[in-house]
Structure 1
């Protein structure tokens, strides 16, 4: 007898690809430099995501005759009852459909169930009937994502399923990034056929008209007018430069249209790009870049309309010399509190990243670059603060060893669409930003820390020498598979929480409450003069993140983080009722004690919680 349940159609999948570029920013007036070359030719378009499907069917094979081939009524009834009970326990009815060519039975369920539920149903059926040879889901299989028909696909070595590619085709079997916005905080983006439909919203946040190169300050036009310079204009002794179209190259690596039979493809081609223009002639100011991080992640910036396209991933293919400044750290902390993953280029000076900001700030994913052999690129920064490595190119052996992406032919102002190979940690960074977008599209509930943990825990071992290049080579496919594996990845705790409530007195560092991270404590701000200290051991290389949640909408308490010194390393002082979040990284080679301090600002004494983890 035929079942009458409605079944789902098999979902088809489409395809996409990834690219990159290279920058370095200096501290204040910050001079940006691009390491790339050679325009190419061509142009680009594609679509959708598919989640891992469940199924509405079950296959059961019995050791005796099949149901449809003469089983007695009693045998038939018993089998039907057992399968019906197992299905009913999971909210579905079951009905026999047919016998297969191998003598098994196909049973239909009245509603699709997650694959894990159907596997459990099958296990129950087998456990309750010794006559069952095997039982298993009748899975809905998907067409595997094939290489897109973009003619330059074979030139995108960084995206391939290979020892050095990030494996986007496997990830595309699950998702292509739909529903996730990626902020490209850069030079802006040129309109390009291969980015058609990929760009949403955005803003020009450059305040200085000398830097902006478009004749005005902040406005809603994030298109790139070019960043060419005359000789000696930015730095004495530096020659003239042509326009880099750097943001356009970065954007193409993330979201270039895939499968349209032209040009290239992005690594997360269904994601959207939110362009934030902060770099212009001679670079960009830290203050503008910090505002861009806050605005892109959904925060407010005075004089700028609200962002209607909040980004879950921020790509910063930029940097400069020096320690992490307070302005950048606070912006990163605010962006992370808004749920954004902050991905930053490690820098191109072939030095320790500890001297490159904002890659050395707490709470970012710092990205080193490797070339097509998998070895660290000769220019790439390195060190214990690097989190992962990704394809950035090594063009000393030829242009095609770089990263190919979208560009423009203009040497000063805009020209026509083009493609070019660039190299740099700027090009490695969008590979990681795209992987983060794919992970978030697969599991939108993940926090920034969980996304970072997923990318690092699934990274592949290096296939060539890449010392101090982080956890490994980013693997988009493995990261996406981990993201849909049923649990939110978090690093294992080093020690169990010590207590669940604050113990007074703890108003000095020497009396600080010891907390094993991750841990959450209930605490009380006893008066307007109260202050509370909490101490935690942070492993070498780990980033401590602390969240202070007030117990009422009127309460306004502030959060400070300290190391061994008397000066705060990080702080958060948001308004009444807001959750304060601050992060600090242990850059040493051994565990160290860090302190979280909470203070009263206003709104009355009362309860709050403090959460510490990494």
Structure 2
């Protein structure tokens, strides 16, 4: 992840084959996950907090005495009874019970920190107990730290039909730019977020005249540890207020910072995220928000040094309307959760974060998470890789993948997060202002809150609230039209099937395209879908010279008459990697979720062969797994 002040880089030639229908091309079910998640541990770190999930009906589940006894036996089996130095007078390694988590897991604390190898040995021994379903380290997540922008440009003349917020036209390219923006303004004719609650799990929120703070006191600070929260005592407290997360003074500087994580002032990250989602709009001041009549429920999970997974998991459950022991139930359950935070590690359905997200989705809450800013595969970051989340990558004003954005098949969709440099090109070496950044509400305090202000940041943290805001707009529109509330799965489909194709070649995949607010909201209430260009194929005639970026898609059609046989739909030649999806009568979705057939081999030689096709129009969607060029498309049949 990049620091707030500076950037730190670390969130289809094969023979033709018969393609199987999608239903037959997938596995019979999810692969079993290991009982121990070691992916979140690092060689240069140490650990003293562990999360254990015991099987239902086990004696240990929810029983602190049984848990401590179980762990004592595991410690004995590891040989980690004394400190690793084996120095004279070393105290035995002990364990204490912390609390029972909302997802049913147990949090424990060891009396000293363990190295990666020691932690791995302990977790392996814990998992050896048949009563244990899963064990993991309680890792520290961070705000997906971003690049800070120069100052706001001066207000410019208001455009006809635009809101009267003075800095809107001059700075918020990311709302309207037809190339890399999210096409927000046009969608305000259909919805404004009214009646929707969006929970922002972040650093909390600060006082700001351009934010609706009506749910700030109804939010909650889920940080238990006093060192992380900055309070005098352990424990959670009401209110979602950001009291600062600086690390450039003691006691945090010596324990939270290193060469990869330099000391920082408070970044007011949650305030910036909240503003992108729902900053007050057309009120004659500042900037605008996407779903500006939605309510933001701030939930503080990140403080000094970051925030523990155990707190974040509880916060996910609580924000979505679930019960958490010791905390009053949330009276304003969120329909959308935004998490512009993350850390290293693969997230499975067995991890506490994965379980909490599944619980939230089960309650009808859509969970949106940042892909991360490490220019790496998002599959190796959490919560970006958690099952069920909508994972958001970042593009700049030209539509290119932002150079810092994590990527890969885990990423669902891209949104404007800022490319930092001119033409989104880091080799230019010169920041673009304002086009390189996303602009929103902040605070000018360097430690504790100071004065309300506005500022720009760039990162997947900024891309993510664009998508969360669009989800709120969809929910608001369907509610206003008296339609059934879309499920999280239906919302995912709405976003992916209306995404705008990348306008330029994308070097690495960051989803199916760029989020299109107007198209998604319009489709959610039954409006006409944008007309997609379809290239007609003639039987047996090769169409060459096809190209696109990673995630780019092109649609082709072939009319097949009655009596035809041996229908072959192919791509071949050129460079890169593509997948093809095939359906009849209507085009397949960009993600292929409704395709009848698909072909997804490495490289560009893909084929769907149907011996006895029914008569009709066959649509072939070509999707770039990686950037591709000079690819040919062919459809032919025999009569």
TM-score range, shorter chain: 0.5 to 0.7
Q: Tell me the TM-score normalised to structure 2 length.
A: 0.56
1:331: which partner in 2? Answer: 356
Q: Answer whether contact 1:42 1:419 (CA < 8 A) is retained.
A: no
Q: Answer whether contact 1:198 1:271 (CA < 8 A) is retained.
A: no
1:257 aligns to 2:280 (yes or no): yes
Mapped to 1, the partners of 2:269 and 2:319 lie a distance apart of: 19
1:190 aligns to 2:225 (yes or no): no
1:287: which partner in 2? Answer: 310
- 2:439 pairs, out of 404, 407, 420, with 404
Mapped to 2, the partners of 1:369 and 1:451 lie a distance apart of: 20
Q: Answer whether contact 1:369 1:391 (CA < 8 A) is retained.
A: yes
Q: CA deviation at 1:415?
A: 0.7
2:331: which partner in 1? Answer: 308
Q: CA deviation at 1:41?
A: 6.4
| 1:165-244 equivalence runs, <5 A | 165-197=181-213, 199-200=215-216, 201-216=218-233, 217-230=235-248, 231-237=253-259, 238-244=261-267
Shift of the 453–33 alpha-carbon distance from structure 1 to 2, 3 Å rule, reads closer
| 1:110-189 equivalence runs, <5 A | 146-154=161-169, 155-160=171-176, 162-189=178-205
Mapped to 2, the partners of 1:483 and 1:270 lie a distance apart of: 18
Shift of the 403–291 alpha-carbon distance from structure 1 to 2, 3 Å rule, reads same
| 1:80-91 equivalence runs, <5 A | none
- 1:268 pairs, out of 291, 300, 315, with 291
Mapped to 1, the partners of 2:149 and 2:513 lie a distance apart of: 30
Mapped to 2, the partners of 1:353 and 1:368 lie a distance apart of: 9
Q: Answer whether contact 2:494 2:520 (CA < 8 A) is retained.
A: yes
Q: Answer whether contact 1:145 1:173 (CA < 8 A) is retained.
A: no
1:366: which partner in 2? Answer: 391
2:462: which partner in 1? Answer: 427
Q: CA deviation at 1:199?
A: 3.9
- 2:381 pairs, out of 348, 352, 356, with 356
Q: Answer whether contact 2:346 2:385 (CA < 8 A) is retained.
A: yes
| SS, match of residue 255 in structure 2 | coil
Q: Answer whether contact 1:43 1:417 (CA < 8 A) is retained.
A: no
Mapped to 2, the partners of 1:543 and 1:251 lie a distance apart of: 32
1:474: which partner in 2? Answer: 515
- 1:384 pairs, out of 409, 430, 453, with 409
Shift of the 166–31 alpha-carbon distance from structure 1 to 2, 3 Å rule, reads closer
| SS, match of residue 183 in structure 1 | strand
Q: CA deviation at 1:166?
A: 1.2
Q: CA deviation at 1:235?
A: 3.5
Shift of the 42–255 alpha-carbon distance from structure 1 to 2, 3 Å rule, reads farther
Q: Answer whether contact 2:200 2:339 (CA < 8 A) is retained.
A: yes
Q: Deviations over 1:13-63 (max 9, x none)?
A: xxxxxxxxx99699702344522325746999xxxxxxxxxxxxxxxxxxx
Mapped to 1, the partners of 2:144 and 2:505 lie a distance apart of: 26
Q: CA deviation at 1:178?
A: 0.1
Q: CA deviation at 1:210?
A: 0.6
Q: CA deviation at 1:372?
A: 1.0
Shift of the 145–284 alpha-carbon distance from structure 1 to 2, 3 Å rule, reads farther
Q: Deviations over 1:392-430 (max 9, x none)?
A: 012233341101110000011111011111010000000
Q: CA deviation at 1:369?
A: 0.1
Which stretch shifts more, 229-238 or 435-444?
Answer: 229-238
Q: Answer whether contact 1:313 1:341 (CA < 8 A) is retained.
A: yes
Mapped to 1, the partners of 2:143 and 2:177 lie a distance apart of: 33
Q: Answer whether contact 2:210 2:280 (CA < 8 A) is retained.
A: yes
| SS, match of residue 440 in structure 2 | strand
Mapped to 1, the partners of 2:523 and 2:193 lie a distance apart of: 15
Q: Answer whether contact 2:496 2:591 (CA < 8 A) is retained.
A: no
Mapped to 1, the partners of 2:167 and 2:505 lie a distance apart of: 28
Q: CA deviation at 1:487?
A: 11
Gaps of 5+ in 2: 1-6, 12-39, 42-137, 422-430, 480-484, 530-588, 595-624, 626-639
Q: How many equivalent pairs are there?
A: 376
- 1:452 pairs, out of 492, 497, 504, with 492
Which stretch shifts more, 285-294 or 161-170?
Answer: 161-170
Q: Tell me the TM-score normalised to structure 1 length.
A: 0.58
1:437: which partner in 2? Answer: 472
Mapped to 2, the partners of 1:42 and 1:193 lie a distance apart of: 20
Mapped to 2, the partners of 1:38 and 1:414 lie a distance apart of: 19
Please give the root-mean-square deviation of Cα atoms over the aligned residues, in Å: 3.0
Mapped to 2, the partners of 1:43 and 1:298 lie a distance apart of: 42
Gaps of 5+ in 1: 1-21, 45-143, 489-538, 545-588, 590-614
| SS, match of residue 390 in structure 1 | strand
Q: CA deviation at 1:442?
A: 1.1
Shift of the 395–342 alpha-carbon distance from structure 1 to 2, 3 Å rule, reads same
Q: CA deviation at 1:364?
A: 0.5
